[in-house]
């Protein structure tokens, strides 16, 4: 009888959502912090980060927990005014905060590099790949580098500006310490070590390479920025990587003080085909510098591409941004949007569904005293917001059959005015 009662109690506790979960009930969910996202086919994949939640409606015994599963979400389903359909996937790979995810759409695979281990120290310098099954699931496996001599010399860090561009995974900067790289176990834990330069990984060959980034900002460092790929630009059509935001530093302290925010009026970009850096002065409504924002790019029906930059933080001012700016190319002109609602956050990531919706995942705010608001309930179900790139506003539902992207009228007017 006693065994029956214990079993019944465990069943009821699980049914009530009393166990910590990667996908808690809406009533228990608080925040997702530091995830990375990518899109393969009809699915959004969410990897890494931590989660804060209530357990059975009460405060969790741990302030934050690692997300120990990969999550997928179908982009062919509507989810109005409620929880997005997140599906947990067993993960053989370790979990990290803010890893780089390099997607190979042809092979239906993405690769994970870098990030900060959660509640542990990494004891190996491993590189992992996830192969999707086309149904929202998939499997993780270790990936061996084609040139281990180069791979072994690449610092493993967190906070790089990363993207996938025409068959290359690229990442600029980042910073390391004992929880990112086992080679840094003896490094001063009161300070983070910035990694100057840009690394690339060729998806088809498995070849790693190190590239100079000194021309980016004089120091070659960039921490907590984002990046997009202009896939139809660049020499021989190999693409251009455009980093946005972040900070440059000779030494990144644990509280992030004393660093120089990268400006967003002088844009420096990397031509993959020639391994060279170039710059261009932007005009319009220039965003203030920031770290930990997210950015996406979408190509219009003409010859323009629009880069959407959302959120971020200026830690020196304890300022969390809720704004959304659009950089239109080739005009190199910034526009500030005016959505009807604002959701200030940093430490999030975002992706485009392939049509005209931006999905923002995770993030937190910051209090005036500089402390992060990790336990304020997120107004978004499961920490996922939807921004309609046609309405230029936040919406309460995801629509898989949204219309194809059209250049916003305010941007079209600017080009027509010459």
Residue 197's pLDDT is 96
Q: Are 325 and 309 in contact (CB under 8 A)?
A: yes
pLDDT band at 354 (very low <50, low <70, confident <90, very high): confident
Nearby residues of 138 by Cβ (< 8 Å), 6 or more positions away: 70, 72, 89, 130, 131, 132
Of 172, 42, 160, 36, residue with least CA distance to 105? 42
Average model confidence (pLDDT) across the chain: 90
What's the Rg (C-alpha) of the chain?
A: 21
Does the pLDDT value for residue 15 go beyond 60? no
Does the pLDDT value for residue 160 go beyond 50? yes
Q: Rounded to an integer, what distance in angstroms lies between the CA atom of residue 70 and that of residue 91?
A: 6
Residue 370's pLDDT is 67
Residue 336's pLDDT is 98
Q: Rounded to an integer, what distance in angstroms lies between the CA atom of residue 73 and that of residue 79?
A: 11
Residue 5's pLDDT is 34
Could you give the percent of the chain with pLDDT greater than 70?
Answer: 92
Q: What value does the mean pLDDT take over residues 340-358? A: 95
Of 11, 18, 20, residue with least CA distance to 57? 18
Number of other residues whose CB lies within 10 A of the CB of residue 329: 23
Least confident window among 79-93, 244-258, 358-372: 244-258
Residue 366's pLDDT is 76
Residue 153: burial class (beta carbons within 10 Å; 0-12, 13-18, 19+): exposed
Residue 4's pLDDT is 34
Does the pLDDT value for residue 108 go beyond 50? yes
Residue 1's pLDDT is 38
Residue 88's pLDDT is 98
Q: What is the pLDDT of residues 288-333, one digit of tens each?
A: 999 999 999 999 888 899 999 999 999 888 899 999 999 999 999 9
Torsion-angle region of residue 49: left (phi > 0), alpha (psi -120 to 50) or beta? left
Residue 374's pLDDT is 87
Residue 189's pLDDT is 62
Q: Rounded to an integer, what distance in angstroms lies between the CA atom of residue 253 and that of residue 239?
A: 34
Helix (H) or strand (E) holding 171: strand 168-172
Does the pLDDT value for residue 364 go beyond 50? yes
CATH number at 24-416: 2.120.10.80
Residue 120's pLDDT is 75
Q: Where are the domains of the chain?
A: 24-416
Least confident window among 32-46, 76-90, 96-110, 272-286: 76-90
Q: What is the pLDDT of residues 388-405, one digit of tens each?
A: 999 999 999 999 988 899
Least confident window among 155-164, 230-239, 246-255, 324-333: 246-255
- Highest mean pLDDT out of 9-13, 91-95, 359-363: 359-363
Residue 402's pLDDT is 87
């Amino acid at each position: 009888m006693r065994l029956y009662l214990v079993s019944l109690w465990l069943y009821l506790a699980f049914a009530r959502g009393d166990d910590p979960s990667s996908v808690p009930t809406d009533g228990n969910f608080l925040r997702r912090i530091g995830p990375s996202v990518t899109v393969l086919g009809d699915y959004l994949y969410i990897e890494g980060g931590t989660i804060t939640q209530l357990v059975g409606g009460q405060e969790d015994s741990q302030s934050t927990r690692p997300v120990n599963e990969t999550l997928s979400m179908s982009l062919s389903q509507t989810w109005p005014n409620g929880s997005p359909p997140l599906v947990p996937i067993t993960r053989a790979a370790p979990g990290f905060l803010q890893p780089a995810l390099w997607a190979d759409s042809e092979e239906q695979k993405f690769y994970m590099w870098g990030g900060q281990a959660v509640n542990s120290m990494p004891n190996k310098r491993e590189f992992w790949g996830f192969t999707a099954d086309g149904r929202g699931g998939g499997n993780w496996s270790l990936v061996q580098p084609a040139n281990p001599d180069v791979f072994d010399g690449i610092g493993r860090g967190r906070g790089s500006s990363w993207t996938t561009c025409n068959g290359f995974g690229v990442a600029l900067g980042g910073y390391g310490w004992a929880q990112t790289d086992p080679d840094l176990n003896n490094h001063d834990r009161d300070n983070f070590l910035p990694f100057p330069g840009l690394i690339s990984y060729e998806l088809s060959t498995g070849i790693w390479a190190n590239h100079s980034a000194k021309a980016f900002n004089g120091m070659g460092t960039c921490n907590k920025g984002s990046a997009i790929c202009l896939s139809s630009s660049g020499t021989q059509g190999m693409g251009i990587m455009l980093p946005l935001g972040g900070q440059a530093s000779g030494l990144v302290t644990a509280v992030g003080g004393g660093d120089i925010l990268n400006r967003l009026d002088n844009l420096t970009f990397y031509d993959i085909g020639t391994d060279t850096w170039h710059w261009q002065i932007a005009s319009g409504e220039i965003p203030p510098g920031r770290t930990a924002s997210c950015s996406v790019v979408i190509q219009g029906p003409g010859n323009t591409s629009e880069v959407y930059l959302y959120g971020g933080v200026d830690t020196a001012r304890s300022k969390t941004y809720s704004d959304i700016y659009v950089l239109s190319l080739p005009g190199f002109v910034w526009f500030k949007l005016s959505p009807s609602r604002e959701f200030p956050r940093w430490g999030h990531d975002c992706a485009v569904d392939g049509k005209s919706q931006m999905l923002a995942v995770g993030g937190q705010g910051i209090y005036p005293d500089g402390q992060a608001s990790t336990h304020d309930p997120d107004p978004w179900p499961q920490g996922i917001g939807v921004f309609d790139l046609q309405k230029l506003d936040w919406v309460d539902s995801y629509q898989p059959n949204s219309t194809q992207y059209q250049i916003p009228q305010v941007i079209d007017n600017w080009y027509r005015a010459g």
